[in-house]
Copies of this chain bind each other. A is one copy, B any other.
Amino acid sequence: MKFADFLPGQTIVHGPADVLSEEDIVAFARTYDPQWFHVDRARAAASRWQGLIASGWQTCGIAMRLAHEGALEGSESFGSPGLDYLKWLDPVRPGDALTLHAHVLEVRRSNKQPDLGILRWRWQLVNQRGAAVLETMVTSLFDLAAR
């Protein structure tokens, strides 16, 4: 998509992503988030989580991948200054199939820099049972002078 294709009120749905295996979850967590409920199968199974769950940061990565494939790829986007909030709503488990629902809230040009496009959108990542596992409000920036 291009910046001009984003319209307030629009919902972009993309997915599901390739499912995470238990090995994917443990491999990510060993590097970035080695808390026991992401890496220790036996302890996770005996806990409130009733099994291994994915690091919330890995879930963010899946949302990002889907946002790239479903919307940002080929656009003038050059990054993000951040998020207004982020909620991890439900655990992500091995085999879950996650789909991104991206709701466009605001699309505008910067007053001070007319070549700077600003998109504010809400991402929801939904599993195969229809439960939202992640919600966040993202700002994305676009270079409208880029060739």
Report which A residues bind B (CB closer than 8 A).
28, 31-35, 37, 47-49, 53, 55-58, 60-62, 64-65, 68, 72, 77-88, 143
Contact = CB atoms under 8 A, between A and B. Distances in A.
A34 B68 contact: yes
Copies of this chain in the oligomer: 2
A65 B31 contact: yes
A85 B85 contact: yes
Interface of A is mostly: mixed
A143 B81 CA distance: 34
A28 B33 CA distance: 14
Contacts of A84: 85
11 contacts: A31-B61, A31-B65, A32-B58, A32-B62, A32-B65, A33-B61, A33-B68, A35-B79, A48-B143, A55-B64, A86-B86
